[in-house]
């Protein structure tokens, strides 16, 4: 992006000229009948552009962006892997995109078959019994999962209002718990970044409904006591929820269902390679063990006599979690990805994700001390060295300087329990050459920071804008033209 | 498979790490979990996938569809499709590093501005999942602001929105949902005035309502406001090219299903939840917000702002747990608005309305087929048939490859014979005659 | 107002009680730690607050800080200036940047710290 084109951030409304139009319709005998008192008083302030103006405007804006297609994007916890183009092509087939969500089942057999088969495959991959692909994002899936738990306890007549969340968890976990009306019990991780069994025992009581675990956890460490955690929880009548954000480390290699978890969500836009679109849409299906199956949201895709149908008749269901079935077009992409992989190929995903992360970690650990000395899973958490800290260099400075070198920054300042965290997730689709070049750049930045800290503290130097005044943005919000 | 490393490179990498084999890297994983049997079919090649998916897409029957009810068969402009397929937008993550995401952030700012313009509201967030979840979040915001527990809603709001809102409140019995009945298909403000009491948090209406009718939202808001409660309007953003806006009527929150702005129907998603509000409620907005600011040199730039409301900072005290949103769909809507502009959108509204008026006239000329409601409608209307609507729908779609509309039997006993027919710019007059003929033949 | 003229809590609020009215804000040390304040979510007048429970929230760009009530009582006035100028908390934490006033119901102030004790506490916590 550095020199491709002159930076132009004029707004579309500033390029607007009265009388221009990008799209015209034909309706020779149009006779509308909207009563005057129901009509809008003044024209909406939308830009007036020709089609060419609009195409150039948005194409230029697309250039002021890092993306997986154009840049290495090692954003920890986000699994920014390559998004195969075949998935785009097949998910855009008109037979899929033109289908109304309230079409009769007999006219929707193709899409229903895919959803049904995707359920089966995902359950098999993860060792779970039943699935729903309604939820449209990880957090939406989490909320659905926690509602299943709530329903479970109401059906068996137990009053439980606490959810245990480790302090290393994604922010969505505690937010979800409280959204569903539970009290969040935060528990501290051990210095190794694991859940401490003794601490857990202290917190498990007759009020504990659910424990939410991320496996591997957000430090990229496999929770080696997960089976014991599940056993202790079950003995207490507590359900175990697994945040599936980091499934890329396990896929094909380990079935989470074998740990003894009761439910988990999937981020299709992470593990199953659907593009993230600048923040969404994603898809966040839920997998459950048999005992939670009756509570899944309605309707459910089922099969009878070789025909697929939406079953609305589910008396124990938690209900509807959005108007219509999930982010179907995203699921179609994920389905194409499922088809592309058999058991062997899935295992290679996890293997290469783990290999790549350890390669980066081992190459950088002398300069950027890792949180844990152990081998990591699919991502590693590092931090600036004491030498850098003494020069006043912060994680943010390193992140910004990376942009100058054409690398998207890793996730920074997360997990919250690591001071100045730099969380790197290379994913399996990146090549050794790219990783080598990233490693080399990190070393270079380390040099720069030691020799010329002010220069690094003022990075980026080559982006369209320098560091932005976030205080001004928050104190005097300007959020529309 | 999409893995870049060769076997030779993998060997070199393991050596550099200092282990003999891959398994050494995962020694922390208990052996019992490793390498389970996975019973899945073998991998397909790209050509095979292409063929299989094409075959599956053809298992969906292609019908000329007159079904609407909140999801509309809209034309997607070619330029919009082309821009949305650009990898720079498609394969980016949330703009966490603003300096490397100015393009995306600017499109979010333009999206927020376009939605504020359409709805005549002060603030918009960067998007929610869909119309129903936006509605649910608006209800929750009203409960937070007021500290009260009763939600009044028009009986002509999409019933799926109400179901979703209840699910979003975890079906907690402490929240009471009460329906305001209709007269002639329109929300009756007299009932509304009677129902408001000290425990009422908010009132919600829809325009056009679920039956396609144009409500008098100005009076509804006034009635609610005279008793000092908060108000929510669900409005189809497309219709706001021509119809009175929630903002000019004084609603506190206005939400809508953005699918209507040129996004494909795709059997449920991805859609776009539009969420707007008045300035004083900005802190109650869920999700991301983009703001304009300056860089060190005083140059204009964009950042995500007011983030301390969100889950990654506020955790269990966040207004919502939303993280991923529908950014690409929001970009689509922004492009759609830019391509049509105020004049194009108004023209498109007029075409929709005009086709619907024409269709209603033609269809009610069939013997024993009547309009269920007299009130003016926007682009869909309800017919009262001399037979069960579900049966007619099945028959017509089997015989003529036309889906004649939605049977409203889910709305209760009075709707067994009610068929809701929707017209959009993707249809023309000959489609109307075709529809008429097919219904006639099946009655 | 000098920092010696008010009392402090271990959660970094300051309080000054005159008669049955208490003025509450955040300490200078705390505002430094918080960084640029961008928003103050003030309590409502008439709200009853319990000693040690959350009374309001102060936000910086990337964090939110709970402010705990140093005593129990009812909120009688809030610093409305902060809605437009949250930076007052940074510029003048002990005077123009006060947060809210309470009518004190039980004046149990035995655990409040004086300036010397608070300074020592804050210094120790920082290391």
Mark out the alpha helices in B227-297 (DSSP H runs).
246-249
Contact A323, B68 (CB under 8 A): no
- Residue C108 has a pLDDT of 76
- Chain C closest CA to B134's CA: distance in Å? 24
Pairing between β-strand A300-304 and β-strand B290-294 as defined by DSSP bridges: unpaired
**CATH T-level assignment (fold) for domain A351-463:** 3.90.1150
Pairing, β A162-166 against β A130-132 = unpaired
| Interface contact flag, C63 B313, Cβ < 8 Å | yes
Chain A from 402 to 431: CB within 8 A of any C CB: 413
The reply to whether residue C39 touches residue A474, judged by beta carbons under 8 angstroms, is yes
A neighbours by CB contacts (3+ pairs under 8 Å): B, C
Q: What is the 3-state secondary structure (H, E, C) of A169-219?
A: CCCHHHHHHHHCCCEEEEECECCCCCECHHHHHHHCCCCEEEEEEECCCCC
What residues have CB less than 8 Å from B3, skipping those under 6 apart? A348, A349, A352, A428, A429
Element (H, E) at C78: strand C72-78
Are the beta carbons of B240 and A40 separated by less than 8 Å? yes
Q: Does the distance separating the beta carbons of C38 and A474 come in below 8 Å?
A: yes
Q: Which residue of A has its CA nearest to C36?
A: A471
Query: Average pLDDT in the B153-176 region?
Result: 96
Give every residue of chain A whose pLDDT is below 50, as ranges. 1-4
Report d(CA A136, CA B133) in Å as an integer: 11
Work out whether the CA dihedral A462, A426, A281, A171 comes out positive or negative.
Answer: negative
Phi, psi of C82 (to 5 degrees): -70, -20
Q: Cα(C77)–Cα(B102) distance, rounded to whole angstroms?
A: 42
Residue B418 has pLDDT above 80, yes or no: yes
For residue range B356-398, list pLDDT tens digits in order.
Answer: 999 999 999 999 999 999 999 999 999 999 999 999 999 999 9
- Return all residues near B437 (Cβ < 8 A) that are at least 6 apart: none
Q: Does any CB of chain C come closer than 8 Å to the CB of residue A468?
A: no
Residues of A in contact with C36 (CB under 8 A): 471
User: B306 to chain C: which residues are within 8 Å by CB?
Assistant: 39
CB contact under 8 A, A110 and B60: yes
The CA distances from residue B420 to B187, B248, B373, B409, B416, in Å, are 18, 29, 11, 10, 11
Domain ranges of chain A: 12-63, 99-341, 351-463
Q: Which of A6, A481, A67 lies closest to B95 in space, CA to CA?
A: A67
Structure tokens, C122: 């804050």
User: Which pair of tokens denotes residue A393?
Assistant: 């260099």
Considering only CB atoms, which chain A residues are within 8 Å of C62? 413, 470
Cβ–Cβ of A471/C61 closer than 8 Å?
yes
Among partner residues A413, A470, A475, which is closest to C87 by beta-carbon distance?
A475
Interface-testing mutation among A261, A479, A481, with chain B (most B C-beta atoms within 10 A): A479
- The answer to whether B79 contacts chain A (CB < 8 Å) is yes
pLDDT of residue B250: 98
Q: Give the separation between CA B26 and CA B401, rounded to whole angstroms.
A: 56
CA distance A75 to chain C (A): 19
What residue of C is the nearest CA neighbor of B315? C64
Q: How many structural domains are present in chain C?
A: 1
Any idea what the Cα angle at residue A203 is, between residues A201 and A209, rounded to 5°?
105
Task: Provide the domain limits for residue C102.
Answer: 3-126
CATH topology of domain B64-75+341-442: 3.90.1150
DSSP annotation of B255:
E
**Cα–Cα distance measured from residue A477 to residue B125, given in angstroms and rounded to the nearest whole number:** 12
B323 and A62: CB-CB below 8 Å?
A: no
Parallel, antiparallel, or unpaired: how do β-strands A307-311 and C100-106 relate? unpaired
For residues A129 and B357, what is the distance between their CA atoms, to the nearest angstrom?
50
Asked, as a colleague might, if the bond just before A216 is cis with ω within 30 of 0, I would say: yes
Q: How is residue B215 annotated by DSSP?
A: P
Hey, are the CB atoms on B104 and A342 less than 8 Å from each other? Answer: no
User: How would residue B319 be classed by pLDDT, with cut points 50, 70 and 90?
Assistant: confident
Judging contacts by C-beta atoms under 8 Å, the chain C residues touching residue A471 are: 36, 38, 61
The pLDDT tens digits for C115-124 are 999 999 998 8
Do residues A316 and A152 lie in contact, with contact meaning Cβ atoms separated by under 8 Å? Answer: no
C61 in A contact zone (CB under 8 Å): yes
Q: Does B47 touch chain A (CB under 8 A)?
A: no
- CA dist A174 and A186 (Å) reads 8
Spell out the domain ranges in chain B. 64-75+341-442, 78-336
Q: Does C40 touch chain A (CB under 8 A)?
A: no
Give rounded-to-5 percent helix, strand, coil for chain A. 40, 10, 50
Please list, in sequence order, all residues whose beta carbon lies within 8 angstroms of the beta carbon of residue B15, skipping any fewer than 6 positions away.
none
Collect all residues of chain B within an 8 Å Cβ-Cβ radius of residue A56.
none
C87 touching A, CB under 8 A?
A: yes
Over the range A333-355, which residues count as b (16 or more CB within 10 Å of their CB) and which as e? bbbbbbbbbbbebbbbbbbbbbb
Which residue is associated with the tokens 């010696």? C4
Question: Which residues of chain A have a CB within 8 Å of the CB of C38?
Answer: 471, 474-475
Separation CA B284–CA B316 (nearest Å):
15
Smallest Cα–Cα separation from B189: which of B212, B158, B141, B221? B221
- Does any CB of chain A come closer than 8 Å to the CB of residue C64? no
Note if the bond before A256 is cis, omega within 30 degrees: no
* Cβ within 8 Å of A, B 174-213: none
Q: Is there a contact between A230 and A258 (Cβ–Cβ < 8 Å)?
A: no
CA dihedral defined by A396, A398, A399, A403, rounded to 10 degrees?
A: 140
The Cβ-side half-sphere exposure at A333, using a 13 Å CA radius, reads 27
Q: CA–CA separation, B120 vs B107, rounded Å?
A: 19
Closest CA to B103 of A127, C112, A464: A464
Please tell me the distance in Å from A169's CA to the nearest CA on chain C: 17
Cβ neighbours of C111 (radius 10 Å): 11
Can you tell me the ipTM of this complex?
A: 0.97
> What is the distance between the alpha carbons of residues C78 and C70, in angstroms, rounded to a whole number?
16
Q: Looking at CA atoms only, how far is residue B136 from chain C in angstroms?
A: 24
Predicted pLDDT of residue A3 = 47
C-alpha to C-alpha distances, A44 to A434, B61, B134, B218, nearest whole angstrom: 47, 38, 22, 18
The Cα of C31 is separated from the nearest Cα of chain A by a number of Å equal to 15
Closest CA–CA distance from residue A187 to any residue of chain C (Å):
19
Nearest chain C Cα to B146, which residue?
A: C44
Residue by residue, DSSP assigns C81-125 as HHHH-TTHHHH-TTTTT--EEEEEEE---TT-B-HHHHHHHHHHH
The residue behind tokens 């979690």 is A321
pLDDT tens-place string over residues A186-214: 999 998 889 999 999 999 999 999 999 99
Length of chain C as a residue count:
127
Would the CB atoms of C62 and B313 count as touching at under 8 Å?
yes
Chain B residues within 8 A of A70 when measuring between CB atoms: 87-88
Of B268 and A31, more confident:
B268
- C126 contacts: CB under 8 Å, gap ≥ 6: none
Q: Give the relative orientation of helices B102-119 and A51-63 as an angle to the nearest 10 degrees.
A: 140
Q: B268 contacts in A (CB within 8 Å)?
A: 101, 323-328
Q: CATH code at C101?
A: 2.40.50.100
Rounded Cα distance, B126 and B112, in Å:
6
DSSP for C3-54? GGGSEE-TTSEEEEEETTEEEEEE-HHHHHHH-SEEEEEPPPTT-EE-TTSE
**Integer Cα distance of A132 and C68 in angstroms:** 43
CB contact, 8 Å: B100 with chain C?
no
Chains that touch B (3 or more CB pairs under 8 A): A, C
What lies within 8 Å, CB to CB, of B90 at 6+ separation is A67, A69, A83, A88, A275, A277, A278, B84, B328
Residue C59: list chain A partners with CB under 8 A. Answer: 474
Residue A105: the pLDDT is 97
Whether B111 contacts B127, CB under 8 Å: yes
pLDDT, residue A2, reads 47
> Comparing A32 with B431, which gets the higher pLDDT?
B431
Question: Would you state the pLDDT for residue A428?
Answer: 98
CA dihedral B405, B409, B412, B415 (to 10 degrees): 60
Query: Which chain C residues are within 8 Å of B308, Cβ to Cβ?
Result: 38-39, 59-64
* Cβ contacts from A onto C, under 8 A: 14
Beta strands B380-384 and B370-371 are antiparallel
For chain A, say whether B123 makes contact (Cβ under 8 Å). yes
DSSP code for B227: T
pLDDT at residue C127 in the model: 59
Give contacts of A374 with chain B, Cβ < 8 Å.
Answer: 28
CA distances from C97 to A385, A477, C65 (A): 38, 21, 15
Q: Which residues of B240-257 are buried (b: 16+ CB within 10 A; e: fewer)?
A: bbbbbbbbbbbbbbbbbb
Among C61, C82, C85, which would you mutate to test the A interface (most chain A Cβ atoms within 10 Å of its Cβ)? C61
pLDDT band at C126 (very low <50, low <70, confident <90, very high): low
For residue B94, what is the nearest residue in chain A, using CA coordinates?
A279
Interface contact B18, partner A, CB < 8 A: yes
Residue B130 near residue B275, CB atoms below 8 Å:
no
Task: Count other C-beta atoms under 10 Å from residue B295's C-beta.
Answer: 19
**pLDDT per residue as tens digits for the range B23-59:** 999 999 999 999 999 999 999 999 999 999 999 999 9
Which CATH number does the domain B78-336 belong to among 3.30.565.10, 3.40.640.10, 3.30.930.10, 1.10.3720.10? Answer: 3.40.640.10
Which CATH architecture is the domain A99-341 placed in? 3-Layer(aba) Sandwich (3.40)
**Nearest CA distance, A451 vs chain B (angstrom):** 23
Cβ of A330 and B289 within 8 Å?
no
Map tokens 């939202």 to a residue.
Answer: B217
As a whole number, the mean pLDDT across chain C is 92
pLDDT at B203: 98
Between B283, B307, B317, which is nearest C62 by CB? Answer: B307
User: What mean pLDDT do residues B213-223 have?
Assistant: 98
Q: Is B402 exposed, middle or buried (0-12, 13-18, 19+ CB in 10 A)?
A: buried
Give backbone dihedrals phi and psi of A422, rounded to 5 degrees, phi first.
-125, 110
Cβ–Cβ gap B113/A103 under 8 Å: no
- In angstroms, the CA B437 to CA B435 distance is 5
């Amino acid at each position: 992006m550095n020199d491709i084109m002159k930076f132009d951030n004029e707004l579309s409304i500033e390029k607007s000229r009265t009388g221009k139009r990008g799209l015209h319709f034909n309706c020779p005998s149009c006779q509308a009948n909207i009563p005057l008192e129901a009509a809008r008083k003044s024209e909406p302030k939308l830009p007036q552009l020709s089609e060419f103006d609009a195409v150039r405007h948005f194409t230029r804006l697309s250039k002021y962006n890092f993306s997986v297609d154009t840049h290495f994007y090692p954003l920890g916890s986000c699994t920014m892997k390559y998004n195969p183009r075949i998935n785009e092509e097949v998910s855009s087939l008109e037979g899929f995109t033109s289908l109304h969500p309230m079409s009769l089942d007999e006219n929707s057999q193709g899409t229903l078959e895919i959803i049904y088969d995707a359920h089966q495959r995902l359950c098999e991959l993860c060792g779970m019994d039943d699935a729903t692909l309604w939820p449209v994002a990880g957090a939406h899936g989490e909320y659905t999962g926690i509602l299943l738990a709530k329903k479970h306890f109401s059906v068996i007549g137990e009053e439980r209002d606490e959810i245990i969340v480790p302090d290393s968890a994604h922010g969505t976990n505690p937010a979800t718990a409280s959204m569903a009306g539970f009290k969040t019990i935060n528990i501290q991780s051990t210095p190794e970044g694991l859940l401490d069994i003794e601490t857990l025992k202290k917190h498990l009581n007759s009020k504990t409904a659910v424990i939410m675990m991320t496996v591997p956890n957000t430090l990229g460490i496999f929770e080696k006591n997960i089976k014991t955690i599940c056993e202790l929880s079950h003995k207490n009548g507590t359900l175990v929820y697994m945040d599936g954000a980091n499934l890329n480390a396990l896929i094909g290699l380990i079935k989470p269902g074998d740990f003894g978890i009761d439910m988990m969500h999937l981020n299709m836009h992470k593990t199953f390679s659907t593009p993230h679109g600048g923040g969404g849409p994603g898809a966040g299906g839920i997998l459950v063990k048999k005992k939670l199956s009756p509570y899944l949201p309605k309707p459910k895709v089922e099969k009878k006599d070789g025909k697929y149908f939406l079953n609305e008749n589910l008396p124990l269901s938690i209900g509807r979690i959005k108007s219509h079935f999930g982010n179907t077009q995203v699921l179609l992409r994920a389905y194409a990805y499922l088809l592309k992989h058999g058991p062997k190929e899935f295992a290679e995903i996890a293997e290469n994700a783990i290999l790549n992360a350890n390669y980066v970690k081992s190459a950088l650990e002398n300069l950027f001390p890792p949180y844990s000395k152990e081998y990591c899973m699919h991502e590693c958490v590092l931090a600036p060295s004491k030498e850098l800290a003494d020069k006043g260099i912060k994680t943010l400075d390193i992140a910004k300087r990376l942009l100058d070198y054409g690398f998207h920054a890793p996730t920074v300042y997360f997990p919250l329990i690591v001071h100045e965290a730099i969380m790197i997730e290379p994913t399996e689709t990146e090549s050794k050459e790219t990783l080598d070049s990233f490693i080399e750049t990190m070393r270079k930045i380390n040099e720069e920071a030691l020799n010329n800290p002010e220069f690094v503290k003022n990075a980026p130097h080559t982006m369209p804008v320098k560091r932005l005044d976030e205080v001004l943005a928050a104190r005097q919000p300007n959020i529309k033209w | 498979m999409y893995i870049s490393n060769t076997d030779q490179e993998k060997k070199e990498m393991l050596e550099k790490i200092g282990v003999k084999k891959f398994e050494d890297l995962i020694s922390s994983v208990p052996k019992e979990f490793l390498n389970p049997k996975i019973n899945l079919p073998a991998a397909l090649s790209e050509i095979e996938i292409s063929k299989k998916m094409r075959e599956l897409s053809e298992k969906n029957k292609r019908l000329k569809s007159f079904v609407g009810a909140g999801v509309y068969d809209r034309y997607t402009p070619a330029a919009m499709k082309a821009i949305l397929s650009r990898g720079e937008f498609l394969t980016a993550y949330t703009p966490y590093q603003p300096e490397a995401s100015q393009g995306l952030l600017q499109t979010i700012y333009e999206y927020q501005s376009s939605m504020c313009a359409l709805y005549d509201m002060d603030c918009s967030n960067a998007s929610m999942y869909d119309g129903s979840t936006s509605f649910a979040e608006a209800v929750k915001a009203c409960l937070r602001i007021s500290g009260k527990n009763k939600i009044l809603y028009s009986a002509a709001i999409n019933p799926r929105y109400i179901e979703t809102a209840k699910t979003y409140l975890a079906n907690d019995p402490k929240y009471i949902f009460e329906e305001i009945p209709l007269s002639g298909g329109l929300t009756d403000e007299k009932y509304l005035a009677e129902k408001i009491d000290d425990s009422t948090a908010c009132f919600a209406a829809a325009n056009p309502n679920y039956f396609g009718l144009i409500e008098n939202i100005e009076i509804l808001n006034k009635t609610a406001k005279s008793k000092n409660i908060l108000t929510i309007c669900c409005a189809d953003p497309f219709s706001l090219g021509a119809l009175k806006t929630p903002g000019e009527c004084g609603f506190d929150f206005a939400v809508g299903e953005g699918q209507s702005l040129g996004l494909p129907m795709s059997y449920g998603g991805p859609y776009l939840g539009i969420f707007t509000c008045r300035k004083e409620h900005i802190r109650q907005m869920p999700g991301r917000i983009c703001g304009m600011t300056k860089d060190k040199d005083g140059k204009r730039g964009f950042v995500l702002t007011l983030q301390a409301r969100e889950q990654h900072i506020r955790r269990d005290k966040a207004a919502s747990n939303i993280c991923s949103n529908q950014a690409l769909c929001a970009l689509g809507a922004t492009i759609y608005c830019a391509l049509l502009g105020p004049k194009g959108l108004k023209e498109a509204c007029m075409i929709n309305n005009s086709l619907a008026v024409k269709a209603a006239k033609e269809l009610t000329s069939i013997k024993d087929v009547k309009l269920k409601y007299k009130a003016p409608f926007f682009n869909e209307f309800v017919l009262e048939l001399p037979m069960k609507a579900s049966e007619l729908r099945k028959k017509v779609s089997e015989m003529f490859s036309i889906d004649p509309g939605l049977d409203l039997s889910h709305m209760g006993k009075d709707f067994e014979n009610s068929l809701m027919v929707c017209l959009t710019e993707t249809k023309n007059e000959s489609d109307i005659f075709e529809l008429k003929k097919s219904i006639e033949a099946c009655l | 107002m000098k920092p010696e003229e008010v009392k402090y809590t271990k959660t970094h609020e300051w309080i000054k009680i005159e008669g049955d009215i208490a003025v509450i804000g955040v300490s200078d040390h705390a505002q430094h730690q918080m960084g640029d304040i961008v928003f103050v979510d003030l309590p409502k007048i008439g709200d009853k607050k319990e000693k040690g429970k959350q009374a309001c929230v102060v936000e910086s760009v990337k964090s939110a800080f709970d402010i705990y009530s140093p005593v129990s009582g009812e909120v009688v006035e809030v610093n409305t200036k902060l809605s437009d100028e949250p930076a007052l908390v940074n510029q003048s934490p002990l005077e123009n940047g006060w947060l809210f006033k309470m009518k004190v119901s039980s004046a149990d102030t035995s655990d409040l710290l004086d300036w010397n004790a608070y300074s020592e506490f804050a210094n120790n916590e920082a290391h």
